[in-house]
Chain A
Amino acid sequence: EDQVTQSPEALRLQEGESSSLNCSYTVSGLRGLFWYRQDPGKGPEFLFTLYSAGEEKEKERLKATLTKKESFLHITAPKPEDSATYLCAVHPLNSGGSNYKLTFGKGTLLTVNP
């Protein structure tokens, strides 16, 4: 069974204090790995898709990387507005007939204090 584990569950940073969030996954084959940001009471907002080990993508203060077993979301010099829950999801190669099924982790709640 596909599994996604995110760590830490919660992370508190001071503004400007860089850190990384981890997403470990177990799938029979990976079609893609996704990062989303979710604000309280709202739907997830798409950030990145990664397809193969060694791939990196950047957007403002965020950079996502991918290995064969895990992905990291690096946050450089975060600001209070980066506070949110960050979700990792995998799109397995064999989704049991469902082309668009995503399996999510529980997320990391990031709080950035001014």
Chain B
Amino acid sequence: DAGVTQSPTHLIKTRGQHVTLRCSPISGHKSVSWYQQVLGQGPQFIFQYYEKEERGRGNFPDRFSARQFPNYSSELNVNALLLGDSALYLCASSWDGETQYFGPGTRLLVL
């Protein structure tokens, strides 16, 4: 079975630009969560979606937004990029609400 997939794998943007990251959950999983991981830190929670509804939001500015589609895939959008947004963006899916399975991540570099 395919695991969580994310695209693109790497991305380079300049300050002020907008970026869209994509995630496909494990088949049968209805929940998708997004995390940001900067170098040397653990992942930080950004959003959680379940059945296409936002169920949770972490301490991130309104420049960050997300949505979940009818097929349970998800997009994370970041507007007005800052240098500090450079990080590994991780998507995780869950079936039972307890165990989250992570994708390989999207490495974003903002110049």
Chain A positions within 8 Å of B, measured between CB atoms, are: 4, 31-32, 34, 36, 41-46, 49, 87, 89, 91, 95-107
Contacts and interface: CB of A to CB of B under 8 A. Distances in A.
B88 to A, nearest CB: 8
A100 B90 contact: no
A43 B50 contact: no
A41 B50 contact: no
Given A31-B98, A43-B102, A91-B98, A99 B42 contact: no
A45 B33 contact: no
Interface in B9-56: 31, 33, 35, 40-45, 48, 50, 55-56
Candidate in A32, A42, A49, A101 with the most chain B CB atoms within 10 angstroms: A101
Contacts of B92: 100
A100 B55 contact: yes
B48 A100 contact: yes
Contacts of A96: 56
B100 interface: yes
A63 to B, nearest CB: 18
Contact of A107 (B42, B44, B99, B100): B42
B100 A97 contact: no
Interface string B72-102: 0000000000000000101010100111111
15 contacts: A31-B98, A41-B105, A43-B90, A43-B102, A46-B99, A46-B101, A49-B98, A91-B98, A97-B55, A98-B56, A100-B94, A100-B97, A101-B45, A102-B43, A104-B44
B45 A43 contact: no
B98 A102 contact: no
